[in-house]
Amino acid sequence: MAYLFQQIFYRPVFNILIFFYENLAWHDLGIAIILTTLLIRFILYPLFHIGAKQQMMMQRIQPKVKKIQEMHKDDMPKQSAALMALYKEHGVNPFSSIILLIIQIPIMLAFYWVVRSGFGVATLSSLYSFVPPPGTVNSLFLGIVNLSKSNLVVILLAALAQYFQARMAIYRAPSGTAPSAAEKIARQMSFIAPLMTILIFYSLPSAVGLYWLVSSLFSVAQQYIINRHLQKKYGA
């Protein structure tokens, strides 16, 4: 398992980071992390786009889900079949949010291990043959933030970006309609997620927090595109 993690996640992230550091980031590790994060999100954009869109659709069809649950509350097999038919009709995968989380965790861990392992001779042996090793790697971002240590400003900005992304991902029921259970949960998560971000990243190197900040800002832009698309399609 450790070997697969190193080959699939750690080495690609490490090599992309060093390549950007040497060629496009003016030897600034923070800028290299930003560029690496953006590249990863652009590569995975179709997958994240589908996942985020399906989360919005899950909220939109929640009234129908509740109706099916009430209609077949005494017949679980029939309820399950009706729910599966509803999901299929709207092209929804109820496990999409779990899939997105599974993808994010190893990438985040890869950034963590890159910073924790450092950039010594042993670590640089993980570079591909076409990526030349750097002389030294400066862990400062813009000459101010030490990315090898925790930074409260980076953490708070990441939490704030997480909050805005979560708020944008909430499907609001039409005026005069009571909010669904899914909308209520989404509203609660818009506060819980930033708090979790602060708790998780408080003791981690700010390099990991910077990755999460940039990734969350990318998600904000992506969610804006999704919301515009759904508004044109459904008129709300």
pLDDT above 70 covers what percent of the chain?
A: 94
**Bridge partners, residue 141, by sequence:** 145
Q: CA–CA separation, 25 vs 33, rounded Å?
A: 9
In angstroms, how far is the first alpha carbon of the chain from the final one?
A: 45
Query: What are the C-alpha distances in Å from 78 to residues 54, 60, 72, 224?
Result: 23, 22, 7, 37
Written as six digits, the tokens of 179 are 């909010």
In this predicted structure, what is the pLDDT of residue 154?
96
Does 197 score more than 90 pLDDT?
Answer: yes
Q: 161 or 108, which is more confident?
A: 161
Question: In one letter, which amino acid is 29?
Answer: L
Per residue in 4-21, pLDDT (tens digit) is: 898 999 999 999 999 999
In this predicted structure, what is the pLDDT of residue 227?
82
Per residue in 54-87, pLDDT (tens digit) is: 877 887 888 888 888 888 888 888 888 888 888 8
Written as six digits, the tokens of 183 are 């909308």
The number of angstroms, rounded, from the C-alpha of 200 to the middle of its chain's C-alpha atoms is 14
Average pLDDT, the chain: 87
Q: CA–CA separation, 187 vs 171, rounded Å?
A: 10
Does 36 score more than 80 pLDDT?
Answer: yes
In this predicted structure, what is the pLDDT of residue 27?
93
Does 156 score more than 90 pLDDT?
Answer: yes
State whether the Cα torsion 41-154-199-224 is positive or negative.
negative
Average pLDDT over every residue of 87-107: 79
Q: CA–CA separation, 29 vs 140, rounded Å?
A: 7
Q: CA–CA separation, 2 vs 208, rounded Å?
A: 20
Does 178 score more than 70 pLDDT?
Answer: no
Q: Are 30 and 142 in contact (CB under 8 A)?
A: yes
Q: Comparing 86-95, 108-117, 203-212, which segment has the lowest mean pLDDT?
A: 86-95
**Bridge partners, residue 140, by sequence:** 146
Q: Helix axis angle, 45-60 relative to 206-234, nearest 10°?
A: 60
Q: CA–CA separation, 147 vs 140, rounded Å?
A: 6
The number of angstroms, rounded, from the C-alpha of 61 to the middle of its chain's C-alpha atoms is 24
